């Protein structure tokens, strides 16, 4: 049994409609729909069942909605919390297995270098993954993409995250660039040719 869909018509959700009814209406790839099980509306070409039925091609999303400074800041805070928590817990467990106080102290101090390094690697891997986002960004429903809304490569993810050095070099001024351009790019986004895109909201 096919699912029932709400369809946005003239800016208002209508339905629900079956796939056969959607065919009669003449649904197009860019029309917005959702089922009761979906959290948010998606364009028809993004929904596998509708692609199969109507023969739509999945299109890359054109970036129109961008992650704001406060969303990015909160996502970063969450990621620092996640990465620091895992590193501290791991170091604590290791220190329990070591009796030498000097070794325990060196483990504690090593966290100052290990946490930023782990966070860098975490960002590079997660932002070039299928999810295109760290866990912090996923919670805030924002993700990293190229200028056309596509997933970035591992190499570009490395470049983007290393370019953050320039964004923080002078009192984090590179992050303030996001207030002065329509696509809300920080300096490291401009250097790497990336955007932070957010999901559509209705």
Domain ranges in the chain are 5-54, 69-198
**Tens-digit pLDDT profile for residues 130-188:** 999 999 999 999 999 998 888 999 999 999 999 999 999 878 899 999 999 989 999 99
Global pTM value: 0.71
Pairing of strands 194-198, 142-146: antiparallel
**Tens-digit pLDDT profile for residues 32-87:** 988 988 888 888 888 888 888 788 876 666 677 899 999 999 999 999 999 999 99
Cα–Cα distance, 149 to 146 (Å, whole number): 5
Cis peptide before 95 (omega within 30 of 0): no
């Amino acid at each position: 049994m096919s699912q029932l869909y709400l369809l946005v018509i003239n800016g208002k959700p209508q339905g629900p409609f079956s796939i056969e009814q959607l065919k009669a209406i003449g649904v197009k790839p860019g029309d917005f729909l959702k089922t009761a099980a979906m959290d948010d509306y998606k364009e028809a070409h993004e929904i596998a069942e509708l692609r199969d039925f109507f023969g739509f091609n999945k299109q890359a999303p054109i970036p129109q909605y961008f992650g704001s400074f406060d969303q990015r800041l909160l996502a970063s805070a969450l990621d620092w919390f996640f990465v620091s928590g895992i590193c501290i817990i791991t170091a604590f467990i290791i220190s329990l297995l070591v009796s030498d106080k000097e070794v325990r102290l060196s483990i504690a101090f090593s966290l100052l270098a290990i946490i930023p390094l782990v966070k860098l690697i975490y960002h590079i891997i997660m932002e070039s993954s299928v999810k295109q986002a760290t866990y912090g960004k996923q919670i805030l429903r924002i993700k990293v993409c190229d200028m056309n809304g596509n997933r970035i490569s591992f190499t570009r993810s490395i470049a983007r995250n290393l370019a953050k050095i320039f964004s923080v070099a002078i009192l984090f001024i590179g992050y303030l660039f996001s207030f002065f351009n329509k696509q809300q790019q920080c300096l490291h986004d401009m250097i790497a040719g990336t955007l932070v895109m957010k999901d559509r909201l209705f």
